Chains A and B, each alone.
Chain A
């Protein structure tokens, strides 16, 4: 029997890798745009100041980029090492975006990042500028394909189950690529990276203002970053709204958990914090209609009928159909070579119940409810911090344009302390997305308990500890190196080798 501890540790390891990876990726995505804009200004105006500014942020980008790559490769291979059943069961669909990511995006990043770092004196100005942009574009294309893959896990489309090969097979590539969940997720995630990059740059620049150093550089950086950040944040909010609609439609249990909504209904309230609600707001957010029906956790477990007549099966009914699907699958496999009629009959039953296949692995109906607190609170933190950071960037940009940005020490401190906040917001977003999907690896089709590799718990605990140690070490080094580089400043001589080693 698949041990619960094995599933838990495998999840912990994947979550650890993903969380660490998402510490580095958003800064890559955001800084890429900011430094490319600065270099564009340099190429347009031929002003060395902008070159130094772009080079400084590229240096920070480089320190961060390597760790992003390191955590990313582990993440990709963990699908195979720790979720081997998953890798076969849906590899026919899931593998394709990962391969395309490698061919289309990673080589672009690898090629042009080297030109960007080392090509200042080797290639022409325009080729260098193109390389800087292509590095950022490569990173964004990479995000597109991995989010197509992730979007498919949230809302599987464009495939059919084949009992002969025992896997889901892609039948519509375009449906996978244009999966509305994937498209929304791409813009939501990549543009949240713009937010991260912007808040990071504003925070660092405000530190310079606080120290009354590098004032021209800091103000120029604030100007570029604020605009990038505000555009990014507004787009994140817009796509967040689209995301809510998708979650309500395709993952209602995730929405119910994110809202802590025990019993749903029409004019469902939005909970700001427990005990403080906005009447009807959840219905508006989830359905764009104040009279829209939003099922709660109990509705989803017990079954419901919405006012428009839409019925939702109870957990027991879904489990029953999942059992029928699994039984039909077994029957098909037993008869496929000996009794074609029986096999055909079993296949027909399997197809009728295929959408509930994953429920056949569910033991207790309580397993179908993700941990509410771990979804409810991160969602509030994410939204709250997003609003706060937008306000901060608007204020910062406004004061910069008024020429008064240097005067407000409290604002500088606020901006500095906002750097960890933007990371917390990003982490919370992924916690909502991934914990909210539980118990599913692929929504309704495969629970994590049936997706996991057959390994000893001890092996996974060991690699978990190794990865904790390695990633934490890398993070500590990265932060320390960044702090030193920031303290040194953008206009100092950048030729530096460490002494004393």
Chain B
């Protein structure tokens, strides 16, 4: 087994987790609509309980995405998390407020009141996808950092990764393209949230409101997504030579796409599936399964975008201040032994996905209804 294969294998797993995370952010997307879709208390209760039975998956996907990055590409973990400090802290704080809000919102004695916790859910619904999108965009737009592994030999100041400016990650929000991808992810998560609710909540009023909002969301998503995609494919990228030297290459990501037909196919299938789910839902008034098409499409599209960033001799976390500090899947990865060991661990993932699917199916055989929310005591 080759070291290179293991690096690519793990980049694929991390990319897949990234795709699953974006899909699962339907929770955040739906939460942005708690007040707009749920006009009455019962309506809001239905929205909160619909996403509330899935939020742990999104949260776990985020944690596992971080953990898998740590295990397989620890130099990214140390450089990005320690460097883009404020960006990650903001992401974490937004998700932390989300984590407690479901449980606390309707409990007597919750101090802040029900609506405050729902506002936390809305805030995370926008901030979470936006900041994650902006962070991922920096895989293409670059960040301001320097890596010097030899610095550990300095007994006085042995810092390996240093951020190049005092903004520590907030600088990512000064780049318009990071903001554009962030907004694209916000709108994608709102679309996914809409389709998920159509599937998971059986209520005429809520469904009609969601369906009305779907087209504007789809248009907004496409505008931002295509703008970012166009910028990336026509702009410069960060190529890695066989000796590890990083250089700027025009049209690098376009080259990646055409030089890797399998990735191109995944990308196209993904985008088409995303669009099919949306269009069929808009076109067929009673169609409720759009989430599966658009969800699966989102996983594939995001997967392919990550693969374009890291495969085919590309620096996936480029440094704008020192090109040779850029992170590639070979200079930032774990050792051969660790990657191999973790590959065996990863074989358990299909089993995990299988029991998730079974539990999901068991719990969602009946959609959320007004009647259930009025009767059951097992709800948020």
Q: Which residues of A are interface residues toward B (Cβ below 8 A)?
A: 1-2, 62-63, 65-67, 69-74, 76-77, 79-89, 91-96, 98-104, 106-115, 117-123, 127, 131, 162, 165-167, 169-171, 173, 323, 326, 329-330, 333, 360-361, 450, 453-456, 459, 463, 466, 470, 473-474, 476-477, 480-481, 483-485, 488, 493-498, 501
Inter-subunit contact B72/A81 (CB<8 Å): no
Which residues of chain A come closer than 8 Å to B60, judged between CB atoms?
A: 102, 106-107, 109-110
The answer, among A98, A115, A360, for a CB contact under 8 Å with B70, is: A98
Which residues of chain B come closer than 8 Å to A63, judged between CB atoms?
A: 103-104, 107
Of B205-213, B216-224, B351-359, the segment with at least 4 beta carbons within 8 Å of chain A is: B351-359
Task: Give Cα A102–Cα B80 distance, bound, in whole angstroms.
Answer: 20
Task: Give Cα A256–Cα B30 distance, bound, in whole angstroms.
Answer: 56
Which residues of chain A come closer than 8 Å to B112, judged between CB atoms?
A: 477
Q: Which residues of B are interface residues toward A (Cβ below 8 A)?
A: 41, 45, 49, 53-54, 56-57, 59-60, 62-64, 66-68, 70-72, 74-75, 77-83, 85-86, 88-89, 92-93, 95-97, 99-100, 102-104, 106-115, 149-150, 152-153, 155-163, 166, 168, 334-335, 337-338, 341-342, 345-346, 348-349, 352, 355-356, 359-360, 362-363, 365-366, 376-379
Q: What does DSSP make chain B's interface, helix, strand, loop or mixed?
A: helix
- Interchain Cβ contacts under 8 Å between A and B, 9 examples: A2-B158, A92-B335, A99-B70, A110-B60, A111-B356, A119-B362, A459-B86, A463-B89, A493-B377
Known interface pairs A77-B66, A501-B115. Does A120 touch B109 (Cβ–Cβ under 8 Å)? no
Which residues of chain A come closer than 8 Å to B85, judged between CB atoms?
A: 81, 453, 455, 459, 463
Task: Give Cα A473–Cα B97 distance, bound, in whole angstroms.
Answer: 11
Inter-subunit contact A102/B53 (CB<8 Å): no
Task: Give Cα A131–Cα B378 distance, bound, in whole angstroms.
Answer: 15
Q: Give the nearest-CB partner of A105 in chain B.
A: B60
Which residues of chain A come closer than 8 Å to B161, judged between CB atoms?
A: 84-85, 88, 453-454
Inter-subunit contact B77/A95 (CB<8 Å): yes
The answer, among B95, B152, B335, for a CB contact under 8 Å with A89, is: B152
Which residues of chain B come closer than 8 Å to A82, judged between CB atoms?
A: 82
The answer, among B64, B96, B156, B360, for a CB contact under 8 Å with A103, is: B64
Which residues of chain B come closer than 8 Å to A165, judged between CB atoms?
A: 149, 335
Inter-subunit contact A84/B160 (CB<8 Å): yes
Measured CB to CB, the closest approach of chain A to B149, in angstroms, equals 4
Known interface pairs A77-B88, A84-B78, A106-B60. Does A171 touch B334 (Cβ–Cβ under 8 Å)? no
Q: What does DSSP make chain A's interface, helix, strand, loop or mixed?
A: helix
Q: Which of B41, B64, B366 has the most CB of A within 10 A?
A: B64
Inter-subunit contact B67/A121 (CB<8 Å): no
Measured CB to CB, the closest approach of chain B to A467, in angstroms, equals 9
Inter-subunit contact B114/A474 (CB<8 Å): no
The answer, among B67, B83, B114, B348, for a CB contact under 8 Å with A76, is: B67
Task: Give Cα A83–Cα B72 distance, bound, in whole angstroms.
Answer: 17
Which residues of chain B come closer than 8 Å to A77, judged between CB atoms?
A: 66, 81, 88, 92
Having A80-B82, A88-B161, A450-B158, one finds 17 other A-B pairs with CB under 8 Å, namely: A63-B104, A73-B59, A84-B159, A85-B159, A99-B64, A99-B345, A103-B64, A110-B59, A119-B363, A123-B363, A169-B338, A170-B338, A455-B85, A470-B93, A485-B107, A496-B106, A501-B115
